[in-house]
Amino acid sequence: MLKAEGRMPSVEDSRRRSRAAIVFTKEFREVFRDRRTIIGVVISPLLITPLLFLILGTFIAGEAKKMEKETMSVGVVNANLAPSVMKAIGKPPSLAFERVQADRAESLIKSRKLRAALVLPTDAEKRLAAHRAVRVQVMLDAGNEKSNAAAARLRAAVTTAGAGLIQVRLKRLDLPSDFATPFDIKEAPIKTGTGRGTLIVAGMLPYLLALSCFSSGIYAANDTVAGEKERGTLETLLVSPASRREIVLGKFLAVAALCCVGSVLSVVGMSIPFFSGLKAFDWIARGGMHLTAAGIGVTLLMQIPLAVLFAGMLMIVSTFARNQKEAQTYLGPMMIAIIVPAMMSMVMGAEAPRAMAAVPVLNASLIIKQALTGSTDPAFLVLALAASVLYAGIAVAICTRLFDRENVLLRT
Amino acid sequence: MITTQDLTKTFTDRKRGAVQAVDGVSLACQASEVFGVLGPNGAGKTTLLRMLGTILQPTSGTAQVAGYDIGTQGQQVRANIGYLSGTTAPYDRLTPREMLAYFGALYGMGSALVADRTREVFDDLDMHEFADRRCERLSTGQRQRVNIARAVLHRPPLLFLDEPTAGLDVLASRTVMRFIRKCRDAGRTVVFSTHIMSEVEGICDRIAVIHRGRLAAMGSLGELRERAGGGSFEQVFLRLIGEEETG
């Protein structure tokens, strides 16, 4: 039999443990019972970067090997008029010369029957005999990787031939072999981790991290408000002693925590290729890429305000939407709003103007890029952190206001 | 237990403009009575109960619930009521035991007290068999028992039941009606809204008839019947709202 009313828990009793914390704990625990959360927040961020690196590495190495082995057909215009030049060039490995007419060279390169062409001038023999420079032209399709590679091989072959001719001339004149080389220049790159590969990865990773952080919170945010409206559980919660602010704070913290978990796991995933020592990731170290503890620290630090901002944005959408389907519809344009600034960091240099620290998402991406390329600007970092915290605060404030509006909260 | 004075709620609808869902309702509900709120669909019953449960803020007017003002003491009001509607659902990914632990914590109950009350409620509603099964795997009737358990866990002196049988099959509806009878026997105050005459007839001590947001009549079943000139309760209801069939 039901008991008559007993000791009523007082409002003061409830303060023993913050209701926002109670809501947070329940939301965080409950959302992890859904397979979609496990896949979206744990598995995907952990695996996406290592997989991407693995695929990239395998692909790049495969392509490079293939190109290295490939003998490329290269046209030579006016070869019959310059036998001495052809003799000096000889038969370089991995290049197959074909004599072509000047008017056909271009169309043969376009149709990829030839990868590039060496255009010799008609007076090549005369100039060579007179010890004058022979102006050769390397014709290529600049938009084609293989054409570029063939042109590079041609340049190398002609340069080697030129160096050989100089040595012959110097010997004839009884001059030392370095007579025509007043400066012997050698590059000595310092270890900053800013190799070409690093730049590519540093451009790509902030974008991936931002996306991962955002997508980690999508399911939880949709489920926690729009989903509750749809299932009829929100009303139950609204009639509990928890205030709207406590409810929204608890739910918001749960979504922000999920975004953070997704971010942290993305950073862990990002670190795997650098620290695992697996052979499959050797190409990263060979490419001069390094990930330092400080780099990881700054990346993680920047992910927190980003997670809070994304959680706020996602909660606004979820609170405003009638149901999860409607929330998904709003998320499309929002995703673009995230992707565009995140992508901008791919093309923008790490040393961006400080005004960029005020642009949400882009600022975080640039900070991560700076961290990865070892060029962190402390002032930019502070500004970006302050701006991100401000935007996150605005998003949370909007979300709280929406939660107070019954025409928004209770529309189904 | 409840008094309302000129309670009014106006919604703004894009197409219809200002819609008065509840229009100046003044009523009183005594302690330990089962108080029926009867009205056709769209009469304003849910809006009225939502205002009393502090889910909605009244546009004007005031109300005292369990001794607290709904406008200024919302938290105290909510701590002293249990609320159950036909549309509320349990959390699918929680078990009934976890669901009660969650709401118990929100009501400020310590874990030992929650465990004691949970055992009692599970005994009362015969829920032990599915107490640790996720709610998504429960039948409609079992889910409604979880809702009831959640609403009474903190032993509120006042229960709001907003169309609690809506969408339920006969068996699940019987569970709800049996629960209301138990509440009445335990001396608990219940405000019970419905549009089903038979539900009101058998269980309510007093009834408020709501039509188009206004209080059309209020009294015991006998008083209402007398006022409307007798007949079946359906006829009484139609006369009270001025919609009696002609011919």
* pLDDT score of B167: 74
Chain B closest-CA separation from residue A342 CA (Å): 35
Structure tokens at A296: 């990881």
Chain B: closest CA distance from residue A355 (Å): 42
Residue window 187-246, chain B: list those with CB within 8 Å of chain A. 187-188
User: Looking at the partner chain, which of A12, A233, A238 has a beta carbon nearest the beta carbon of B55?
Assistant: A238
What is the model's pLDDT at position A198? 61
N- to C-terminal Cα distance for chain A?
A: 37
Given pLDDT bands bounded at 50, 70 and 90, which one contains residue A6? Answer: very low
Spatial neighbors of B244 by CB under 8 A, at least 6 apart, are B235, B238
Q: How many other CB atoms are found less than 10 A from the CB of residue A181?
A: 11
Instruction: Tell me the pLDDT band of A190, cut-offs 50, 70 and 90.
Output: low
Strand order from edge to edge, sheet including B206-211: B81-85, B158-162, B189-194, B34-38, B206-211, B214-219
The nearest CA of chain A is from the CA of B244 a distance in Å of: 33
> pLDDT (tens digit, 9 = 90+) per residue, A245-280?
899 999 999 999 999 998 888 888 877 877 777 777
Residues 6+ apart with CB under 8 A from A124: A78, A81, A82, A84, A85, A134, A136
Q: Taking CA atoms, what residue in B is nearest to A24? A: B102
- Chain B segment 30-59 residues within 8 A of A by beta carbon are 53-57
CB-based contact A5 B89, cutoff 8 Å:
no
Residue B245: its pLDDT value, please?
57
Q: Tell me, what's the pLDDT at B174?
A: 82
Structure confidence by residue, pLDDT tens digits, A300-309: 887 888 888 8
Subunit contact A1:B182, Cβ cutoff 8 A: yes
Chain A residues within an 8 Å CB radius of B182: 1-2
Q: Please report which helix (H) or strand (E) contains residue A87, including its range.
A: helix A83-89
Distance CA A362, CA A44 (A): 23
Over chain B, what is the mean pLDDT?
Answer: 88
Taking the C-alpha atoms of residue A306 and residue A361, their distance in angstroms, rounded to an integer, is 7
Helices (H), A276-360: 282-286, 293-320, 324-347
Residues of B in contact with A243 (CB under 8 A): 74-75
- Residue numbers in A near B167 (CB within 8 A): none
Q: How many CB atoms lie within 10 A of CB A139?
A: 20
At B72 the pLDDT is 92
Taking only the tens place, the pLDDT of each residue in A278-313 is 777 776 666 656 667 777 787 788 788 888 889 999
Task: Inform me whether the C-beta atom of residue A13 falls under 8 Å from chain B C-beta atoms.
Answer: yes
Q: Give the mean model confidence (pLDDT) for residues B46-64.
A: 93
Nearest to B209 by CA among B18, B34, B36, B19: B36
Tell me the pLDDT tens digit for each residue of B140-181. Answer: 888 988 998 999 999 999 999 988 887 777 877 887 888 888
Distance between CA atoms of residues A332 and A222, nearest Å: 13
B90 Cα to chain A: minimum distance (Å) = 6
pTM score above 0.95 = no
- Using CB atoms, pick whichever of A33, A239, A406 lies closest to residue B78: A239
The answer to whether residue B140 neighbours chain A at the CB level (below 8 Å) is no
Give the residue carrying structure tokens 């006829």.
B235
Determine the pLDDT at residue B132. 95
Q: Give me the mean pLDDT over the A372-391 stretch.
A: 84
Alpha carbons A265 and A218: distance in angstroms, whole number: 16
* A233–chain B Cβ distance below 8 A for any pair: yes
Helix (H) or strand (E) holding A281, with range, is none
pLDDT at A192 over 70: no
DSSP letters of B145-188? HHHHHHHHTT--SEEEEESTTTT--HHHHHHHHHHHHHHHHTT-
- Least CB-CB distance to A2: which of B89, B147, B152? B152
For residues A259 and A213, the answer to whether their CB atoms sit within 8 Å is yes
pLDDT in tens, A97-144: 999 998 899 999 998 899 999 999 999 989 988 888 899 999 999 888
> Which of B107, B146, B160 would best serve as a mutation to test chain A binding (most A beta carbons within 10 A)?
B107
Query: A337 — contact with chain B (CB < 8 Å)?
Result: no
Q: What is the mean pLDDT of chain A?
A: 83
**Rounded Cα distance, A362 and A48, in Å:** 21
Please determine, for the modelled complex, whether the ipTM score is greater than 0.95.
no
- What's the sign of the alpha-carbon dihedral B45, B48, B54, B59? positive
Min Cα distance A335 → chain B (Å) is 28
Report the C-alpha gap between B75 and B54 in whole angstroms.
8
Closest-CA residue in chain B for A35?
B93
Q: What percentage of chain B has pLDDT greater than the value 90?
A: 52
* Rounded-to-integer distance, Cα A196 and Cα A345, Å: 16
Q: What is the pLDDT of residues B76-85, one digit of tens each?
A: 999 999 998 8
Nearest Cα to Cα of residue A303 among A398, A212, A202, A399: A212
pLDDT tens string B128-142: 999 999 999 998 888
